[in-house]
Amino acid sequence: MNKKIIGVILIVAGVALVVWGYDVYDSAGSQISRALSGDTPIEAWIGMVGGGLCVIFGIRQLR
């Protein structure tokens, strides 16, 4: 039972992180930065990759 609760929490947190990371990636300041220097903000990478990993670990906990 506890593993399932942790799994659901990880999935919800992971989805929230992915959405936040995408919002950072798609923000106006980030678009200007990417246009000028080609760099993606590290916060966007942390959110999207970290969120994806949380979702994967959450799904594994549900099994």
**pLDDT digits over 25-41, tens only?**
988 888 888 888 888 88
User: Hey, what are 20's tokens?
Assistant: 């936040």
Distances (CA, A) of 30 to 16, 17, 59: 19, 17, 31
pTM of the model: 0.84
Tens place of pLDDT for every residue, the chain, 63 residues? 799 999 999 999 999 999 999 999 988 888 888 888 888 889 999 999 999 999 999 999 998
Per-domain boundaries in the chain: 2-62
Mean pLDDT over all residues of the chain?
A: 92
